[in-house]
Structure 1
Amino acid sequence: MEPPWITKGRGRGRGRSSSVVSSRSSYGSSSSSSTPIIQRGGMSLVKLNSKTQEKASSSSSIHLEDIPENNPLYAQLQEFITQKQSNTFAAIAREDTTDDMKTYEKVEKREMIFLLENSDIQRREEPWKIFQRYLLNGLYFPGESYKTWKYYETLLISTGVEFQHFSGYNTGENVYNFSKMIVKQVIHIEDWGISSMTERQISLNNVKMNFTYWDYIQAFDKVLCYNNERHKHTWFIKICAKIFANPMPNWFLNWWSYHGPTIKILPAPFLNLYKEWVKISPDLNKLYQQDHIPYLQQIEQICFFIEFSIPWIHKWIPEVDFTEEQIPCLYRTYYNNFWDKLMKKDPQTKTIYGQ
């Protein structure tokens, strides 16, 4: 299945976000089949849809195999096609989101999903089966029946968050192996409306639904609870630097402590940049001196990942454990990993993509 968008940006520069071509763009879109994807002189190579192919079937056409291998155009087309295939997020995600948990950094904080009964302890080594015993298939958290995972995703889309989902091999419809989440805006409570209970509206399956600021906060947690039937779903997450345009709400700092990365996942080049950046960053100096933010290493790391638009890979698994009162419960444990694509070399510039 051809992915509907291509990763164009490569994280170069401070605070730049990757430019993304959606499924409505000229590449991978049936509505723009006449747009050349490569052009040489007066000749163009275009991506045809089914209707165009039918019209072209009666006329002469040229294919890659029709071009002699000693023709310079053959090598250029091969390189172009290979680059397009390797640069898609789908191809990268299949390569990078391995199931080897040793490559992931375990997050210190974890979330309690719900309390268990004592009879569940005997199945402690089967947390997914316990999970499914309490919740129907396709549900990932307890709560109101209408506030599904799709409800929270639609809510966030209406408030400046972008999602892309990709299915892997041998999976059914709407079953995803990996997803992409790009946060372009974080709304502060002072910008919401008259009060935090002021309602906004979304449309889900042609049904109008209302939500408040508290639903908005919950959505950032609930939307990441999705997992596929193989229990191996991974998230690609990036926070755009433009969120610095408004004050960062404290609930977002708490969200980061569960879902955000730390510098422990950074490879040496990025870690060295971080150590130099914290010494000279004017934004950090402003936070400490003017806004009187406490000196927290977490603040430094959050600002670093966001300012340089460094994405990360995120996943979770359920675990059976006990509360402080020794009541059995099911926890959601989180893991983060560095996106290895940033450390790969661009075949043209010979520099790493994260340069």
Structure 2
Amino acid sequence: MEPKFWDKNPNKIPQKNFLEGFHFKPLALNKTRKFYEFILVDTDFVAIKHYKDPKDPSNITHTTFQILKFLTPSLFGQNPNNTQKFSMLFDRIGYNYWDYVDAWTKTFWYQNKTNLHSWLIYFKRNILYKFPKWFLQWWDFCGPIEEILPTPAEEGFKVFKSMYDSQNTWILIDHQFFSSFLLSWIFSW
């Protein structure tokens, strides 16, 4: 990091490097974290609910993130660089497939004023997921790790591993386990 942008207080670094409300490099000023979150909600591929501190309604303490389904390039149905319009008036330009893919990471770049925000992430019941390949990178960044499993689930994971046919799929075993058994996890930074 350039010395001009560094600070011994890590909470001041975003203020020196990013616009207010951004915790990532803005490629376009209209593409805020809320823009990316709205893509996921507007497409009905994710359900997001923010929870406010009852003592301070301006402070979002945590958020639930329910994975409903995925937009694959074939479902997008056109050149991934072409734009789709939002169903409600939000941004006149709309979004393209690459914005949708970015939304899966940039949505999580939210931090509250106490730096204690967390996300509860989980899969929806009774869904057979078709994971796009880019989801592997998201899983590496936001997905859970085996060490968080409580003892009964850890035992189940060992059995699942022994029966999992990794030769005929590119889906990681932990990825398949969490989505098949609808296990939730907390993501926080």
So what's the TM-score if we normalise by structure 2?
A: 0.89
Is the radius of gyration larger for structure 1 or structure 2? 1
Percentage of matched positions with identical amino acids: 27
What residue is the counterpart of 1:263 in the other structure? 146
* Aligned with 1:196 (options 71, 80, 87): 80
What residue is the counterpart of 1:237 in the other structure? 121
Deviation, 1:199, is 1.8
What residue is the counterpart of 2:136 in the other structure? 253
CA contact (8 A) 2:21 2:32 kept: no
Q: Distance in 2 between matches of 1:312 and 1:304?
A: 13
Q: Distance in 2 between matches of 1:242 and 1:210?
A: 31
- The residue type paired with residue 186 of structure 2 is I
In the alignment, structure 1 residue 184 sits paired with structure 2 residue 95: no
Q: Distance in 1 between matches of 2:129 and 2:12?
A: 44
What residue is the counterpart of 1:154 in the other structure? 38
Q: Distance in 2 between matches of 1:119 and 1:200?
A: 39
Q: Secondary structure at the match of 1:167?
A: strand
Q: Distance in 2 between matches of 1:215 and 1:308?
A: 29
Runs of 5+ unmatched residues, structure 2: none
Aligned residues: 187
Deviation, 1:135, is 2.0
- The residue type paired with residue 141 of structure 1 is F
What residue is the counterpart of 1:301 in the other structure? 174
Deviation, 1:183, is 0.8
CA contact (8 A) 1:185 1:242 kept: no
Runs of 5+ unmatched residues, structure 1: 1-115, 317-355
| RMSD, aligned CA | 2.1
So what's the TM-score if we normalise by structure 1?
A: 0.49
Q: Distance in 2 between matches of 1:140 and 1:169?
A: 25
Measured against aligned partners, the alpha-carbon deviations of 1:116-138 in whole angstroms (never above 9, x if no partner) come to: 322445x33x1111111222332
Measured against aligned partners, the alpha-carbon deviations of 1:249-305 in whole angstroms (never above 9, x if no partner) come to: 11101100000001111111110011012223xxx43x523x5x3xxxx81101001
What residue is the counterpart of 1:168 in the other structure? 53
What residue is the counterpart of 2:167 in the other structure? 288
CA contact (8 A) 1:186 1:243 kept: no
CA contact (8 A) 1:176 1:233 kept: yes
Deviation, 1:190, is 2.2
